[in-house]
Amino acid sequence: MQALTQSAGKLTEVPEGSIISPQGFRAAGVHAGLRYSKKDLGVIYSDQPANAAAVYTTSMVQAAPLHVTKDSLAAEGAIQAVVVNSACANACTGERGYQDALQMREFAAKQLELPSHYIAVASTGVIGEFLNMDKIDLGIKQLAPDSTKSNAEDFQTAILTTDTVQKSCCYTTVIDGKLISMGGAAKGSGMIHPNMATMLAFVTTDAKVDSGSLQEALKEVTNDSFNQITVDGDTSTNDMVLVMANGNAGNSALSPEHPEWQAFVQLLSATCENLAKQIARDGEGATKLIEVEVTGAANDNDAKKAAKQIVGSNLVKTAMFGSDANWGRIIGALGQSGANIDPNMVDITIGHINMLDKSEPQPFSEEEATSYLENKEVKITVNLHQGNGQGKAWGCDLSYDYVKINASYRT
């Protein structure tokens, strides 16, 4: 009956929803002692094996947990749990690090009474240090997944590093007359420049989706969400986005051939974009979220490249921190984006204030522009007048605190 209260294909955000809002998912988070006092080890658990898909960092240097998770997904395309630690990335740790990641999977398999290939693992934190496996073992033995709000919050806390807030969201839609829920949790604050930072995102859904189609949808959506955020231009060794679909909602199997496939893709897109924007907003030392929208590009790829180049420019980011409407920095970043542009046909708008019209500077009130740029969310719009391509990217300003945080990251 719950499904009848929502129109088919309509997306609804669930304000209090989380990673365990979809049917059949549970979570937990504990303090294993990897960090001084905060929770540092968590798990997401599905009551039954869930079809899964994942995308990973494109860095040539990939952490051991990514290789182990790839092995798990390769077995059947399904997992039932993912165990995650913070404080230590288990990256650049050689054969010992790989064996530790395998052992972490085995510890979780034993605790949850699952085959080891139904376990994915993820780690985040300092690169080049070994996991304390005694603490990992004892911590995993404390994990007792449940479906309460506090359990979700415990997991969301356990995966954080320099993040200042938890990052989660939930949406619902109706497909096949069934209410489909999708929840998400993520961490990421610095070392964020995904080409699929340290960035981890986990998505759960009770929809029934075959793993191949799920992988196809995730790859498509990632390119327009997580791959369009940047905090500091650095890509991490541990980036991963993992989706689990356990089918508990009772819909018929979804694939591109299903008449309501796009409703599922939109659900996944909304979830991933929401998490991506939360990561950008919480950039280390950030005081504001910046959105750049590029229209009129020769194609969508050009628009996305241009938007990400602008939002990732240190000069643009520092201008936004100083509430300085220096549009010269915006067009400077645009010129080196690789997008096809006509330098005589560029429009730039900050908020509602037109700065440049077909490359002609426009008079504007500095006081009005400064006032707008003091907001917590800032939008820059660029029209290239080259075609119908469009794209967005998200980032944050660059503050004094970013340097302070990263100058003493290991201490």
Domain ranges of the chain: 2-279, 289-407
Cα dihedral sign, 150-152-158-164 = negative
Residue 382, SS3 per DSSP = strand
Long-range contacts of 213-217 (CB under 8 A, 24+ apart): 213/254, 213/255, 213/256, 213/261, 214/51, 214/52, 214/53, 214/243, 214/245, 215/53, 215/54, 216/256, 217/53, 217/264, 217/265, 217/268
**β 353-357/240-245 pair status:** unpaired
Of residues 198, 222, 230, 237, which has the active-site annotation?
198
Segment holding 141, helix H or strand E? helix 133-142
Spell out the residues 6+ positions from residue 247 whose beta carbon is closer than 8 angstroms to its own: 48, 50, 51, 206, 207, 208, 209, 253
Beta carbons of 143 and 30 less than 8 angstroms apart: yes
CA 11, 9, 27, 29: dihedral to nearest 10 degrees? -30
Is residue 198 among the annotated active site residues?
Answer: yes
Segment holding 215, helix H or strand E? helix 211-224
**pLDDT by residue for the chain (411 residues), tens digit each?**
344 466 777 999 999 999 999 999 999 999 999 998 999 999 999 999 999 999 998 778 899 999 999 999 999 999 999 999 999 999 999 999 999 999 999 999 999 999 999 999 999 988 899 999 999 999 999 999 999 999 999 999 999 987 888 999 999 999 999 999 999 999 975 444 444 345 899 999 999 999 999 999 999 999 888 888 775 445 567 889 999 999 999 999 999 999 999 999 999 999 999 998 898 887 666 789 999 999 999 999 999 999 999 998 999 999 999 999 999 999 999 999 999 999 999 999 999 999 999 999 999 999 999 999 999 999 999 999 999 999 999 988 887 776 776 676 555
Measured distance CA(102)–CA(125) in Å, rounded: 18
**β 289-297/377-383 pair status:** parallel
Phi, psi at 51, each rounded to 5°: -60, 140
**β 377-383/360-361 pair status:** unpaired
CATH architecture of 2-279: 4-Layer Sandwich (3.60)
3.10.20.340, 3.90.230.10, 3.40.50.300, 3.30.390.30: which CATH number matches 289-407? 3.10.20.340
